Amino acid sequence: MRTFIAIDVNEQVRDVAMQIVEKLMRRGFKANWVSRENVHLTLFFLGEVDPKKVDEITRHLYDRIKGFPSFYYHVEKLGYFVKNNKPAVIWLGVRTNQALQKLYEEMEAELSKHNFSFEKKFTPHITIGRVKDPLPPAWKALLEDITYEPILVAVDRFAVYSSTLTPSGPIYKKLYECQFEGGVIKYE
């Protein structure tokens, strides 16, 4: 099954994400927009993984981060990744801090033991859309003038999701929620 590991966001982040999506749509941007319920901070995309291996990896990750201290991160800007001199992905920026970086490194070290490999540069962000052509004129200015007040997000867990691709967009299903201090919840 197509699997990823993420940190859920709060309702304030979801509200801002949807307000920005509406604004970008009014400005003429076409994209595969992320639905409100699918807004999250991806830590790792694992790809196609056997369900039994997902269970095993989740247990190992939880054992590794059990007791990790709760922390906060800031969501604070709008940005985009460029491909062929055009925006490919539009995202809400996440300010990296030591705790978020350490969580990523601990999980990456555990996942590497299970033969997963990732880019060494961690760029935390919350994807809100994958851009399609054509772009509106002056697209850069239309993106760069969008601002919002920074949002503080509390973190005391991570989740493991499956992702099923459909013509109307991906369907995410939470498989596990691993609380730093409270154990593992398995969803059916």
DSSP state of 156: S
Return d(Cα 31, Cα 87) in angstroms, integer. Answer: 10
Q: Which residue reads 């604070």 in tokens?
A: 76
Rounded Cα distance between 86 and 145, Å, is: 17
The residues, ordered by sequence, that sit 6+ positions from 150 with a Cβ below 8 Å of its Cβ are 74, 75, 76, 95
What token pair was written down for 179? 């609380």
| Residue 60 falls in the annotated catalytic set | no
To the query of whether residue 114 is one of the catalytic residues in this protein, the response is no
Instruction: Determine contact, residues 34/67, Cβ cutoff 8 Å.
Output: no
Q: Retrieve residue 32's tokens.
A: 């595969």
Catalytic site positions: 40, 125
